[in-house]
């Protein structure tokens, strides 16, 4: 089954097939993700795998401009509804790594989608992310650790592939029984340093 067909079936279940709106697990994960970002504001952000826009709406408060992309047209439609009235948010249906936006971003969030790519596609994906990072950009990835239908790569392998992007250092890490969250940047200045606390 193709990835597009897989998500067609998933999104037939309704506008929130992953429980992003209803589950405390998802609310907590979003809060941890947002707290891991080392800066309060970013000029141009990109959320890869925006789904129904729950995280997108939160990221919009931290970005001057924000692009959200997803493979599934219904997901993008629902995300547009969720982000209605936010003129600085753009949402597009795109298949990565085959399709790719222009320009560079100082924040890239890879949310729960890297493991849908096989090793070849993941290698191309990481390379294209490398070309899309602005100087001092922040790259954040968050992925479920357990097996499921549709998975093509292990979460640890996905994060290892992103961690190998030249010039990046890991600046934040969270891991529990269910998911892993990593944050990388070429700028290793800590939040405390940035605010003159040390």
User: What is residue 139's predicted lDDT score, i.e. its pLDDT?
Assistant: 98
Quick: pLDDT tens for 142-163: 999 999 888 999 999 999 999 9
Which tens digits make up the pLDDT trace of 32-56?
A: 999 999 999 999 999 999 999 999 9
Q: What is the pLDDT of residue 8?
A: 85
Least confident of 1-15, 84-98, 150-164: 1-15
* CB-based contact 160:123 (threshold 8 Å): no
Tell me the C-alpha distance between 7 and 76, whole Å: 12
3: pLDDT confidence band, cut at 50, 70 and 90? confident
Give yes or no for a contact between 148 and 131, defined as CB atoms under 8 angstroms apart: no
How far, in Å, CA of 23 to CA of 150, rounded? 21
pLDDT in tens, 171-183: 999 999 999 999 9
Please state, for a pLDDT cut of 90, what percent of the chain lies above it: 88
Span 6-28, average pLDDT = 88
- Split at pLDDT 50, 70, 90, the class of 73 is very high
Predicted confidence band of residue 1 (pLDDT cuts 50, 70, 90): low
How much is the pTM?
0.95
Report residue 9 as tokens.
């079936």
pLDDT in tens, 117-144: 999 999 999 999 999 999 999 999 999 9
Indicate the burial class of 130 (C-beta count within 10 angstroms; 0-12, 13-18, 19 or more).
Answer: middle
In this predicted structure, what is the pLDDT of residue 40? 97
């Amino acid at each position: 089954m193709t990835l597009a067909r897989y998500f067609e079936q998933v999104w037939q279940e309704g506008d929130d097939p992953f429980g992003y709106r209803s589950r405390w697990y998802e609310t907590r994960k979003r809060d941890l993700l947002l707290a891991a970002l080392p800066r309060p504001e970013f000029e141009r952000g990109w959320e890869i795998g925006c789904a129904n826009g729950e995280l997108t709406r939160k990221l919009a408060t931290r970005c001057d401009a924000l692009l959200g992309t997803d493979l599934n047209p219904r997901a993008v439609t629902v995300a547009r509804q969720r982000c209605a009235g936010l003129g600085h948010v753009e949402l597009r249906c795109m298949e990565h790594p085959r399709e790719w936006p222009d320009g560079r971003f100082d924040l890239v969030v890879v949310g729960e989608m890297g493991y849908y790519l096989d090793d070849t596609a993941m290698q191309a994906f990481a390379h294209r992310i490398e070309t899309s990072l602005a100087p001092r950009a922040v790259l954040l990835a968050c992925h479920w650790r357990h097996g499921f239908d549709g998975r093509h790569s292990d979460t640890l392998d996905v994060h290892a592939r992103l961690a190998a992007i030249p010039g990046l250092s890991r600046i934040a890490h969270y891991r529990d029984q269910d998911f892993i969250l990593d944050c990388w940047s070429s700028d290793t200045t800590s939040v405390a340093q940035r605010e003159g606390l040390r």
